Amino acid sequence: MNLICFMTCGLLCSCRQYNGIVCFTFDDFGGDNWVKADEIFKKYDAHATFLVCGELTPKHIEVMQKLQASGHTVGLHTVSHANATAEVQVFTPESYFMQEVKPQLDICRQNNIDVRAFAYPNNRHNAEFDQYFFQYFDYLRAGVGPVRKPVFIDRKDIHKKMVLPGTGIGKYYKSDLNELKKILDEAARTNTMTVFFSHDIYPDAPGVAMPTEYLVELLKHARKLNMHIAGAKELD
Ligand SMILES: [Zn+2]
């Protein structure tokens, strides 16, 4: 506990000095599987970011509200999973926002869901879209790019209105648990931030989803390293 922290929070201060930050982000919609995974996050004093795709139904809202109530960050991932950018460009940032994002955002606002983050479908984006989307979101999740090397972000470079470059986790991405643990080791050692993305969460999950076993192992490892396992809104 430092002096400012002590003066602000008093003796009950729960501020901690962590070794690095890891952000787990989940795209599309895992429904009850995401809610179920909350038990695991709680066990490791961890929060994540859940970025929802689809026309928002009462079920989507229920899940988002439950995750938000547990301290996770909730965000959006478009109505139809259309790419923002393409070789033959279909959308302007504004037309994309109006068609793919505003309908979701309006429903969230009507339901008191605090949306702070957005994930680009298939991680497709450019600086023009980023600039436009920062009007509405503090954090934009994209990928690490074609090189597929994990990115480590210095703490001084973490701020609102930033793009979070995620490394994909899942069998589709040929994830290796030991390699993923090494990424956590490096972030903890250098006191930097690294970002992961996946989708649904369930045991032995195939494809682009997060096998529950991986999630447990990674959270356990990050906790052992005393990392901050943070949702996007905790980066402020
Ligand atoms: Zn997606």
Query: Which has the closest alpha carbon to 227: 22, 44, 41, 71?
Result: 22
Residue 14 DSSP symbol: -
Q: Calculate how far, in angstroms, residue 201's C-alpha sits from the geometric centre of ligand 1.
A: 14
Residue 15 is predicted with a pLDDT of: 55
Q: Calculate how far, in angstroms, residue 21's C-alpha sits from the geometric centre of ligand 1.
A: 23
Residue 145 is predicted with a pLDDT of: 83
CATH fold of 20-235: TIM Barrel (3.20.20)
Q: Calculate how far, in angstroms, residue 125's C-alpha sits from the geometric centre of ligand 1.
A: 13
Integer Cα distance of 211 and 170 in angstroms: 7
Q: Calculate how far, in angstroms, residue 5's C-alpha sits from the geometric centre of ligand 1.
A: 39
Q: Calculate how far, in angstroms, residue 216's C-alpha sits from the geometric centre of ligand 1.
A: 22
pLDDT tens across 48-96, in order?
Answer: 999 999 999 999 999 999 999 999 999 999 999 999 999 999 999 999 9
Instruction: Specify the higher pLDDT residue, 2 or 186.
Output: 186
